[in-house]
Amino acid sequence: MKYCIIIPDGMADTPVDRLKGRTPLEAARTPNMDRAAKRGIIGLTHTVPHRLKPGSDVAIMSVFGYDPLKYYTGRAPLEAADLGLDMGPEDWAFRCNLVTVSDDIMADFCAGHISTKEAALLIRALNEQMGTDQIEFHTGTGYRHLMLYTGEQDFDVSTTPPHDIMGDPVIRHLPRGDGSDLLVDLMERSAEILPGHDVNAVRVDLQQNPANMIWLWGQGRKAPLDDFAGRFGLQGAAISAVNLVRGIARLIGWDVLQVPGATGYLDTDYAAKGRYAVDALRSYDLVAVHIEAPDEASHNGDLQAKIKSIEQVDNDIVGPVLSEAESAGDIRVLIMPDHLTPFMKRTHARGPVPFALWAPDQSDPCGMSLSEANAAKTGIEVSKGHQLIEKLLGREDF
């Protein structure tokens, strides 16, 4: 048997007045997700333990079968693994967003979705003017980058993701706690360096949001994760354009497949991801396909984009994978978002997410389409999200 996990990031939502009380998932046309759900099992699961904040770092770890309460140390070390950064046990990694701050307000958490090519020039400037033997900035993807600290400071700080504070004064959300002075100083110095850079001059001329400050958050130390093949005897692969997801995959021993046109945003090549997933199922035991677009649409407050992205996931990824599974007869498919990202709140939220599990030998199909409400109606609820992998693999019953 082979396995495929399809993760439309942040797809789960709450009822929206503009949709007459439906969620974006309910409003979207999703014949393939619904086919999988009606012929399979649907239910709810909790991917974020109460002690941790709702985010993809915690939730994806759960989806891949790893208990965040045991393994999680912070978001940035997971992304560092994808960038190939060799962290020592006492080193600290911080997520470093390029953001737009206007009149001391967080105006844009992603600086107009700045390109990686532009961002690399800005990160180079930060290293030249703020880098030291202990502080290094590393280019990631788009607006998502890292700062690595190898000094003696032991951080015990509270930080806030910039996508959680859109429209708020930044001073309310600056890092607090032991070591926060160093972080705040770097952020404030970046606000003196970046606005005058040529990249931002061009962006302003083009009426694009400038990347005029860095935002440091998601700190943590090296995250050792147990090898997936050692635990389950299966060789895995991940398809994602997001450093975080790829980093977790690398840490558990999966291959990361590079898909041309995969951007981690709304303009990603959904069809290419679908093709690569189908092809990968012929070489790997388990393939995880992650799609960031629904989450980005919620953060942007773009309801129609969220609905459209869900429909594209359904048509271009779920459809081909499910057809391959039905034809092959030896593939089980799990469809689930990692966490809630309510359109109305424009940020992540705590709560259960729906899932659909399709298997070729399913003897008692639920007969309902995939939605948050229908998943709740079944009474099937996996309280610890990391345990759902055992049910996908057929090693535990519901």
Check: CB of residue 75 under 8 Å from CB of residue 17. Answer: no
Average pLDDT, the chain: 97
The number of folded domains in the chain is: 2
Burial class of residue 149 in the structure, from the number of CB atoms within 10 Å of its CB (0-12 exposed, 13-18 middle, 19+ buried) = buried
Residues 45-97: tens digit of each pLDDT = 999 999 999 999 999 999 999 999 999 999 999 999 999 998 999 999 999 99
Last residue of a domain, one of 220, 237, 263: 220
Last residue of a domain, one of 192, 220, 248: 220
pLDDT of amino acid 361: 85
243 lies in the same domain as 375? yes
256 lies in the same domain as 119? no
Domain, as residue range, for 13: 2-71+224-392
216 lies in the same domain as 229? no
63 lies in the same domain as 166? no
65 lies in the same domain as 112? no
364 lies in the same domain as 277? yes
Farthest-apart Cα atoms in the chain, separation = 64
96 lies in the same domain as 66? no
291 lies in the same domain as 233? yes
Check: CB of residue 136 under 8 Å from CB of residue 123. Answer: no
Q: Supply the pTM of this predicted model.
A: 0.91
The CATH number of the domain where 249 resides is what? Answer: 3.40.720.10
User: What's the pLDDT band for 240 if we cut at 50, 70, 90?
Assistant: very high
Q: Is the pLDDT of residue 12 over 90?
A: yes
